Chains A and B, each alone.
Chain A
């Protein structure tokens, strides 16, 4: 079905070319995931503390970040922030673009992550932690062995979605000129003077789709692993025996 205006047979080759840029997409995703989780952990801890000031600060941060499109956050921090620092006499031009992106994506996901951590933690009945203390565990043991696994079970479905969202979000990195999957695609298009746009973007879409599919499968496996004791999610017969 090859025609002049659509040549599907060149897609496999394009896929192979584009996938060369996968390491950077992976690095961006993993690094922002780690940094974002750490930021979110701090925010969630603040949000769970009793003084109103810390809770207010955490909530303010969550609302602020949630209300800004990530693309704007990139422009704001990558282009705007150095201008501000220059005013203070700090030269930011030596900082790697990829570092900017990791920080920006980490900030972008941290709000949702923090909210998820807080709600998952609160969803575990207080009695679970108390029972752990009552049988003589330390607070740390009780958290690690009893509360955390249950909170994780609650968080996993949404967490998986957020990770997939982040993975796709990193495609915005091309606006600052890094060569991730999206950046590589645009380079390939420029080389052919835009004549094979349809095939190239299709190749890119196929890559993202396949990788997201893998992520979803991993998430499913984790969910079954962590929800064994929960009636509404586990398969009744399998979990009872």
Chain B
């Protein structure tokens, strides 16, 4: 459903993505893990065109573009197939919780105000924030803000949701509520690509793990195989710090 082939990206002279391939099937929950600076976030941002890749091909739901020659119009069209959840939430600070969710529906998807409102309320109910509709983001906790971020992403009915370290900016108590919302979304069958440092969570929620290092994919595979019998030395070294055997032995 989503295929990336030979994607390359450099910032100045520093290569960040070195021509990697990735394929995601419908309903997949893919966790992208790896050390900082390995290019995980850049990969995600290239899929959403917040970063322009230098080379490669991206296909989402049958629509394919050459990342080198992609036009503005194609970018806008491709972007509507994806939705992004940001590490630092990036809610619109000048809009209320409700407006944050309806904004895309009204402006981009041209829905009527009342229809957008209905969709938004039902999404916000799913993330447990139906009592905060008129609050501004600055008055919410980090966990609440990120849940609004997730509701905003889901409301657009994207083919794939991209989550960029959705819990990295949260304290341990707030991580729990956010992860449980993401878990809930994952179970509903929406395709997701999650960049995360929460190994336990990745093991639990993802059916496919992609391990990146130094701008390339070192190893990828079904979640269980990946954690229980990693093949590459780099993967084994990375996973040595996490004791995930427990999770799978239960």
Q: How far is the CA of A138 from the CA of B80 in the complex (A)?
A: 11
Is A49 located at the chain interface by the 8 A CB criterion?
A: no
Which A residues touch B22, using CB under 8 A? Answer: none
Query: Are A150 and B93 touching (Cβ within 8 A)?
Result: yes
From residue 198 to 241 of chain A, which have CB atoms closer than 8 A to chain B? 226, 228-231, 234, 236, 239-241
Query: Are B94 and A229 touching (Cβ within 8 A)?
Result: yes
Is B108 located at the chain interface by the 8 A CB criterion?
A: yes
Contact of B104 among A128, A135, A228, A241 (CB under 8 A): A135
From residue 133 to 152 of chain B, which have CB atoms closer than 8 A to chain A? 134-139, 152
The smallest beta-carbon distance between B163 and chain A, in angstroms, is: 12
The smallest beta-carbon distance between A188 and chain B, in angstroms, is: 48
From residue 80 to 132 of chain A, which have CB atoms closer than 8 A to chain B? 125, 127-128, 130-132
Q: Which of A24-32, A141-149, A165-173, A179-187 contacts B (4 or more CB under 8 A)?
A: A141-149
Give A127's nearest chain B residue, CB to CB. Answer: B90
Is B103 located at the chain interface by the 8 A CB criterion?
A: yes
Which B residues touch A229, using CB under 8 A? Answer: 93-96, 136-138
Query: Are A132 and B92 touching (Cβ within 8 A)?
Result: yes
Is A79 located at the chain interface by the 8 A CB criterion?
A: no
Residues A125 and B90 in contact in the complex (CB < 8 Å), given A130-B50, A135-B108, A136-B80: yes
The smallest beta-carbon distance between A78 and chain B, in angstroms, is: 43
Q: How far is the CA of A125 from the CA of B90 in the complex (A)?
A: 8
Interface string of B98-117 (1 = CB under 8 A from A): 00000110011100000000
Give B50's nearest chain A residue, CB to CB. Answer: A130
**What is the interface residue range for chain B against chain A?**
20 to 34
Is B3 located at the chain interface by the 8 A CB criterion?
A: no
Is A133 located at the chain interface by the 8 A CB criterion?
A: yes
Q: How far is the CA of A229 from the CA of B148 in the complex (A)?
A: 15
Q: How far is the CA of A127 from the CA of B92 in the complex (A)?
A: 9
The smallest beta-carbon distance between A193 and chain B, in angstroms, is: 58
From residue 1 to 26 of chain B, which have CB atoms closer than 8 A to chain A? none
Is A137 located at the chain interface by the 8 A CB criterion?
A: yes
Query: Are A131 and B91 touching (Cβ within 8 A)?
Result: yes
Contact of B90 among A131, A136, A153, A240 (CB under 8 A): A131
Query: Are B90 and A230 touching (Cβ within 8 A)?
Result: no
Which A residues touch B224, using CB under 8 A? Answer: none
Which A residues touch B48, using CB under 8 A? Answer: 134
Query: Are A135 and B93 touching (Cβ within 8 A)?
Result: no
Query: Are B79 and A149 touching (Cβ within 8 A)?
Result: no
Give B135's nearest chain A residue, CB to CB. Answer: A240
Query: Are A240 and B103 touching (Cβ within 8 A)?
Result: no
The smallest beta-carbon distance between B116 and chain A, in angstroms, is: 12
Query: Are A134 and B84 touching (Cβ within 8 A)?
Result: yes
Query: Are B136 and A128 touching (Cβ within 8 A)?
Result: no
Interface string of B147-170 (1 = CB under 8 A from A): 000001000100000000000000
Q: How far is the CA of A132 from the CA of B156 in the complex (A)?
A: 13
Which B residues touch A230, using CB under 8 A? Answer: 93, 136, 138
Residues A128 and B92 in contact in the complex (CB < 8 Å), given A135-B83, A136-B76: yes
Give A151's nearest chain B residue, CB to CB. Answer: B94
Query: Are A136 and B86 touching (Cβ within 8 A)?
Result: no
Residues A127 and B156 in contact in the complex (CB < 8 Å), given A135-B104, A138-B76, A240-B139: no
Is B64 located at the chain interface by the 8 A CB criterion?
A: no
**Sample (7) of A-B pairs whose CB atoms are under 8 Å apart:** A127-B90, A128-B90, A131-B84, A135-B104, A149-B94, A150-B93, A228-B94
Taking beta carbons and an 8 Å cutoff, which residues of A are in contact with B? Answer: 125, 127-128, 130-138, 141, 145-146, 149-150, 153, 226, 228-231, 234, 236, 239-241
Taking beta carbons and an 8 Å cutoff, which residues of B are in contact with A? Answer: 48-50, 76, 79-80, 82-84, 86, 88, 90-96, 103-104, 107-109, 134-139, 152, 156
For the complex of A and B, the 6 pairs showing the least CB-CB separation, nearest first, are A229-B136, A135-B104, A127-B90, A131-B90, A136-B108, A231-B138
15 further A-B contacts with Cβ under 8 Å, apart from A130-B90, A135-B83, A145-B103, are: A127-B88, A128-B92, A130-B50, A134-B79, A134-B86, A135-B156, A136-B79, A146-B92, A149-B94, A228-B136, A229-B94, A230-B136, A231-B136, A239-B136, A240-B139
